[in-house]
Structure formats: structure tokens, C-alpha cells
Amino acid sequence: MMEEPEARVLVVPDRKLGTNDCRGWIRRSVFPASQEKHDREILSVQMERLRRERHGKASDEDLDEQQQSALLEDAKREIARKRLAEGHFYQFRMAFR
């Protein structure tokens, strides 16, 4: 059994950070973990932004279930185009400590 190390995903626009200057591949089985982590991170940021826009300084605990559900659904809809889709080429950087 292989343990996957902690990974971070940074999405960079094409032609930034020296695109096409190196080449490598990651296993297909690693991609879903990166995709899931990226989804969680952008969803969290989007929900926080929407909560501030709609409810000011109210915390999550101040919102009722319907308000929280509405924020979640709207945030999911807004991040849909930012998700890492399968079957595409992505540039990635790998660093070791």
C-alpha cells in the first residue's frame, strides 16, 4: 500500500511560470486526490466570499440551515468552471522536502 503525501494544487494560467519548459506525468490514481483537495479549497474560499457578501460579519453558526444550504449550492455552481477536469493536460511542479 502506497501512502500519498500531503499535496497542494496551484492553478496557473497558461504561459505563466515557464510553461512547456519541463515534462512529466503523474499516475492517474493520484489525480482524484489532487482534484478533490483543489475542489475543497476553492469551495471553501467561494463559500466564505458569498457569506461575507450576503451576511456581512455573520459566522456560519449565525446562519440557519436553509441559508447555509443556499450558500453551498451557489458556491458549487460558481466553482464548476474552475474544477480540474479529467482528460486534460495540466502543468504541475513537484518539490521534495
Alpha-carbon distance of 1 to 74, in angstroms, equals 38
Q: What is residue 96's predicted lDDT score, i.e. its pLDDT?
A: 60
Q: What is residue 58's predicted lDDT score, i.e. its pLDDT?
A: 85
Give CA 21 to chain center in angstroms.
25
Q: Give pTM, 2 decimals.
A: 0.66
Q: What is residue 41's predicted lDDT score, i.e. its pLDDT?
A: 93
Mean pLDDT by 10 residues, the chain (97 residues): 61 61 68 87 95 89 91 95 83 65
Closest CA to 89 of 9, 26, 17, 8: 26
Task: Please say whether the beta carbons of 40 and 9 come within 8 A.
Answer: no
Q: What is residue 15's predicted lDDT score, i.e. its pLDDT?
A: 64
Q: What is residue 86's predicted lDDT score, i.e. its pLDDT?
A: 82
Contacts of 79 (CB under 8 A, 6+ apart): 39, 42, 43, 46
Angle between the N-to-C axes of helices 65-79 and 31-55, in degrees from 0 to 180, rounded to the nearest 10: 130
Cell of 27: 499516475
